[in-house]
Amino acid sequence: MKSTQVLIVGGGPIGLALACDLGRRGIRALLVEQNADEMASAKMIVVSVRTMEFCRQLGIAPQVRDWGFPLDYCLDSVFVTDMQGWELGRIRTPSLRTDADTPFSPERERPCPQTWFDPILKRHARTFSSVELRYKTRLESFVQDANGVTAEVADSESGARESIRADYMVGCDGYSSSVREMLGIQLRGEKHLDLSMSVYVRIPELRRFHDKGDAYRYVFVGPEGVWSVLTTMDGGDLWRVQLVGANDIDVRKHDLDAVMRRSFGSGVPYTIEDVSHWVRKMTVADRFSDGRVFIAGDSAHAHPPNGGLGMNTGIQDAWDLGWKFEAALKGWGGPMLLESYDYERRPACHRAAGESLKNYHRLVDKTSYPLIGERSPEGDAVRAVLGKRLVEANEKAWHPIGVHLGYIYHPSPVVVDDGSPVPPDDTVGFVPCARPGVRAPHVWLGDGRSILDLFGEGFVLLRFGKAETAVLEDAARSRGVPLRVEAVNSVEASALYERTLVLVRPDGHIAWRGNAVPADAFALIDAIRGAGIRAAARRA
Same domain, 342 and 461: no
pLDDT single digits (tens) 308-331: 999 999 999 999 999 999 999 999
Of the candidates 358, 380, 398, which is a domain's last residue? 358
pLDDT at position 253, please? 81
pLDDT at position 534, please? 47
Residue type, 245: G
Judge whether 153 and 138 are in contact, CB under 8 Å. Answer: yes
CA angle 168/170/175 to nearest 5° reads: 160
Judge whether residue 251 has pLDDT over 90.
Answer: no
Same domain, 433 and 313: no
The least confident of 133-137, 230-234, 261-265 is 261-265
pLDDT at position 135, please? 98
Identify which of 43, 42, 38, 111 has the alpha carbon closest to the alpha carbon of residue 71: 111
SS (H, E, C) 192-214: EEEEEEEEEEECCCHHHHCCCCC
Q: Would residue 207 count as lying in a domain?
A: no
pLDDT category of residue 372 using cuts at 50, 70 and 90? very high
Q: Would residue 494 count as lying in a domain?
A: yes
Distance of alpha carbon 341 from alpha carbon 320, whole angstroms: 7
Judge whether residue 536 has pLDDT over 50.
Answer: no
Distance of alpha carbon 444 from alpha carbon 433, whole angstroms: 15
| Average pLDDT in the chain | 94
Same domain, 56 and 115: yes
Q: Would residue 74 count as lying in a domain?
A: no
pLDDT single digits (tens) 39-58: 878 888 999 999 999 999 99
Q: How far is CA 448 from CA 2, 451, 453, in A?
A: 46, 9, 10
Q: Would residue 97 count as lying in a domain?
A: no
Length of the chain: 540
User: For a pLDDT cut of 70, what percent of the chain falls above it?
Assistant: 98
Global pTM value:
0.96
pLDDT single digits (tens) 379-421: 999 999 999 999 998 887 787 899 999 999 999 999 999 999 9
Same domain, 353 and 464: no
Looking at the DSSP assignment, which residues form a beta bridge with residue 2? 164
The least confident of 114-128, 290-304, 389-403 is 389-403
Q: Would residue 256 count as lying in a domain?
A: no
**CATH code for the domain of 150:** 3.50.50.60
Domain that holds residue 28: 2-68+110-188+285-358
Same domain, 307 and 456: no
Same domain, 354 and 412: no
Count of the separate structural domains present in the chain: 2
pLDDT at position 248, please? 76
Judge whether 214 and 93 are in contact, CB under 8 Å. Answer: no
Assign 361 to helix, strand or coil: helix
User: For a pLDDT cut of 90, what percent of the chain falls above it?
Assistant: 87
Q: Would residue 116 count as lying in a domain?
A: yes
pLDDT single digits (tens) 128-187: 999 999 999 999 999 999 999 999 999 999 999 999 999 999 999 999 999 999 999 999
Of the candidates 293, 324, 358, which is a domain's last residue? 358
Same domain, 431 and 344: no
What would the mean pLDDT of 419-434 be, rounded to a whole number?
A: 94
Judge whether 247 and 272 are in contact, CB under 8 Å. Answer: no
Of the candidates 342, 358, 374, which is a domain's last residue? 358
Same domain, 412 and 504: yes
Count CB-CB contacts under 10 A for residue 489: 11
pLDDT category of residue 535 using cuts at 50, 70 and 90? very low
**CATH code for the domain of 521:** 3.40.30.120
Same domain, 481 and 414: yes
Q: Would residue 384 count as lying in a domain?
A: no
Same domain, 427 and 493: yes
pLDDT at position 252, please? 82
Count CB-CB contacts under 10 A for residue 538: 11
pLDDT at position 99, please? 63
Same domain, 332 and 423: no
Q: How far is CA 325 from CA 22, 147, 286, 290, 320, in A?
A: 8, 14, 22, 15, 9
Helix axes 13-24, 49-58, angle to 10 degrees: 40
Same domain, 458 and 323: no
Q: Would residue 85 count as lying in a domain?
A: no
